[in-house]
Amino acid sequence: MKLVIAQMKHETNTYSPVPTPLARFAAAGATPPVGAAAVAAYRGTGSAIGAFIELAEQHGAEFVVPIAANAWPSGPVDDRAFDHIAQRICDAVAGGCDGVLLDLHGAMVTQSHEDGEGELLRRIRALAPSVPIAAAMDMHTNLYDAFAQRVQVIAGYQTYPHVDMHGTGLRAGRALLAQLQGRARPTMAWGRQPMLPHVMRQGSDDSPNRELQARCREMEAQGALCATVFVGFPNADIEYAGLSAVVVTDHNPALARRWCDELLELAWSQRAQFVYRIEPLADSMARARALADAKPPGSGPVVLLDHSDNCASGGTMDTMTVLGAILDAGLDDVAAFAVFDPQAVQQMIATGVGGSVTLSLGGKLDMPAIGLKGEPRTVSGTVRLICDGGFRNYGPMARGEYNDMGPTAVLDTGRVKIVVISNHVEPHDLAAFTAVGIAPERHRFVMLKSRIHWRAGLRSLAHAVVECAGTGVCTSDYAALAFQHVRRPIYPLDAL
Ligand SMILES: [Zn+2]
């Protein structure tokens, strides 16, 4: 048995000004890893592609990995980058194989295609009309028919934060292997609801997504090969942004349809629960101070979530609204992760550890799609640390995967330690802090540019959480986003 195993992952925020060239898909180096380097990068990690490699090796299958391309979310993918990735995968498939295992995101938009995964599948199918294909996909998939009708198996993450990427790879891969070995005949049903669940209400520890995902797991325990609810990614102004469901059964199309419809009905009945209510930032600052004043000695920090500027939702990670409010409020003993500002890092490197520096920090990127200009903030302090910014996740999310923050420095204002980085990395893993010599549990406050994923590695440390509405292209305020292409009517943009 010969398999093609490949990865193409990008969540595209169509409002994001952050460019997405091919180099963004490379953790270190100008191009994403291929062949043995790709296998070495992902074997043994908590990723879907890592699970595919394990399955292939366990089954004694011959396999090739033409590319493993994974980029932090940003604006639409450069056509040249997409063409490069797709061509590598297509060439491998054209070389002959019995099955294809794809580790995809599901919300990729390119300069030319609003359904990047659908375009990839169109190109693969032009070469190999009937080879069985399975895909492991992110819960934030925005599902298009052009994609779904060209694959045999879809399995999506059932957790957010995404701590089951590896398990999702196993679910997708086992279903495809069962097909290739003649033990199963996967049949799939899918559908969408006209609803845009807010990201801040999508956590799988919270209702209603907790119950939706539990029902998916129950269906799998009852015989579904894979059952998935995609909550969708709403900061993408494309026709089919939003919630969808897919169920794969073993040769039982009627059951797949019935279960898929049940998941869609359940989601629709809970649509109001997916609406997020924003707290004014001044109220958040006052509440954070009160929570810190009342917390018992030795308890963990009050976490301040800057949820409008999360680089894992395409945020520039350089808006200064929340950090500015923290500085203005005079909050003390704060660790802030992180501000993306390569220029400021270089200035701190030139200053050297122990030196005093005044920075025009952040705000380098304008955000024309939401009508905002970047606004730097003048900040003075001492350079506490300079490092190369490389670390490997402890887990549970993306365990063992390598992160590259690029040249990184820590500025200490006396009240706030600000981590400044040169590549986008979301703080969802304690290793991000240990890499820069900060013990977050020791601080009174921790500011994170994150939405839900921080819970994976840091939630257990927190005494309390305050969700702070700043500015940025992953804003939780739909009114700030000019939706022009998403299908209408859709809830909650329209009263349905
Ligand atoms: Zn996701």
- Cα 407 to ligand 1 centroid, rounded to whole Å: 26
Question: For residue 375, is pLDDT > 80?
Answer: yes
How high does pLDDT run on average in the chain? 97
Q: How confident is the model at residue 28 (pLDDT cuts 50, 70, 90)?
A: low
Dist. CA 439–CA 138, nearest whole Å: 30
Q: How far is the CA of 360 from the centre of ligand 1 (A)?
A: 32
Centroid of ligand 1 to alpha carbon of 241 (angstroms): 13
Tell me: do 269 and 293 sit in the same domain.
no
Same domain, 230 and 358: no
In a domain, 459, yes or no: yes
- If pLDDT is split at 50, 70 and 90, which confidence band does 473 have? very high
Q: Within a 10 A sphere around the Cβ of 332, how many other Cβ atoms? A: 14
- Two tokens, residue 164: 């089951």
295 plus 235 within the same structural domain: no
Note the pTM of the prediction, 2 decimals. 0.97
Pairing of strands 226-230, 244-250: antiparallel
pLDDT in the model for residue 496: 83
pLDDT at residue 171 in the model: 98
The residue from 213, 244, 274 where one domain ends is 274
Distance 118 CA to ligand 1 centre (A): 18
Residue 482 scores a pLDDT above 90: yes
Distance 162 CA to ligand 1 centre (A): 7
Model confidence pLDDT, tens digit, residues 390-435: 999 999 999 999 999 999 999 999 999 999 999 999 999 999 999 9
Domain tally, the chain? 2
In a domain, 290, yes or no: yes
Whose CA is closest to 90, among 39, 59, 138, 131?
A: 131
Identify the H or E element spanning 410: strand 408-412
Query: How far does residue 336's CA lie from ligand 1's centre (Å)?
Result: 23
CA of 90 to the centre of ligand 1 (A): 25
Residue 289 CA to ligand 1 center (angstroms) comes to 31
For 108-163, what is each residue's pLDDT tens digit?
Answer: 999 999 999 999 999 999 999 999 999 999 999 999 999 999 999 999 999 999 99
The β-bridge relationship of strands 408-412 and 377-387 is antiparallel
**Residue 220 Cα to ligand 1 middle (Å):** 21
Task: Give the pLDDT score at 11.
Answer: 98
Closest residue by Cα to residue 389 from 415, 408, 371, 376: 408
Q: How far is the CA of 261 from the centre of ligand 1 (A)?
A: 23
Residue 467 CA to residue 207 CA, distance in Å, equals 18
Phi, psi of 148 (to 5 degrees): -60, -35
Yes or no: say if 328 and 466 are a contact pair by the CB < 8 Å rule. Answer: no
Q: How far is the CA of 340 from the centre of ligand 1 (A)?
A: 21
Any domain includes 485: no
CA of 37 to the centre of ligand 1 (A): 25
Indicate if 334 and 460 belong to the same structural domain.
yes
**In which domain, by residue range, is 194 found?**
2-274
Structure tokens belonging to residue 81: 């980058």
Q: How many CB atoms lie within 10 A of CB 57?
A: 12
Average pLDDT on 20-44 reads: 91
219 lies in some domain? yes
Residue 357 CA to ligand 1 centre (angstroms):
37
Alpha-carbon gap, residue 173 to 167, rounded angstroms:
10
**What is the Cα 322 distance to its own chain's centre?**
21
Q: Does residue 322 sit within a domain?
A: yes
Residues 294 and 239 in one domain: no
- Say yes or no to pLDDT of 36 above 80: yes
C-alpha gyration radius of the chain: 22
* Helix boundaries (H) for 295-341: 321-329
Single out the residue in 225, 240, 274 at which a domain terminates.
Answer: 274
Residues 230 and 108 both lie in one domain? yes
Q: Can you give the pLDDT at residue 440?
A: 97
Q: How far is the CA of 450 from the centre of ligand 1 (A)?
A: 12
Distance from the alpha carbon of residue 449 to the mean position of ligand 1, in angstroms = 15
Whose CA is closest to 209, among 274, 129, 122, 117?
274
Q: Are residues 174 and 317 in the same domain?
A: no
pLDDT at 450 over 90: yes
| Residue 323 and residue 187 in one domain | no
C-alpha separations of 330 from 66, 286, 298, 392 in Å = 52, 11, 21, 34
Q: What is the mean pLDDT of residues 489-495?
A: 96
Q: Are residues 232 and 310 in the same domain?
A: no
Query: For residue 238, how far is its CA from the centre of ligand 1 (angstroms)?
Result: 17
Task: Please tell me whether residues 306 and 421 are part of one structural domain.
Answer: yes
CB atoms within 10 A of CB 296: 6
DSSP-assigned beta bridge partners for residue 337: 419, 448
Q: In this predicted model, what pLDDT tens digit does every residue of 308-341 receive, in sequence order?
A: 999 999 999 999 999 999 999 999 999 999 999 9
How many Å apart are CA 104 and CA 85, to the nearest integer?
A: 12
**187, part of any domain:** yes
Co-location of 115 and 137 in the same domain: yes
Residue 496 domain-assigned?
Answer: no
pLDDT digits (tens, 9 = 90+) for 190-233: 999 999 999 999 999 999 999 999 999 999 999 999 999 999 99
**Which string of DSSP letters, residue by residue, matches 85-106?**
HHHHHHHHHHT--SEEEEEE-S
Q: Which of 274, 291, 321 is the last residue of a domain?
A: 274
pLDDT digits (tens, 9 = 90+) for 221-250: 999 999 999 999 999 999 999 999 999 999
How close is the Cα of 233 to the center of ligand 1, in Å?
A: 8
Same domain, 224 and 306: no
Pairing verdict, β 334-340 and 445-448: parallel
**Token reading at 356:** 């005093």
Q: Among 87, 65, 56, 94, which residue's Cα sits nearest to residue 4?
A: 65
Domain at 166, CATH number = 3.40.50.2300
Ligand 1 centre and the CA of 377: distance in Å?
30
Question: Is 482 within the bounds of a domain?
Answer: no
Q: How confident is the model at residue 30 (pLDDT cuts 50, 70, 90)?
A: confident
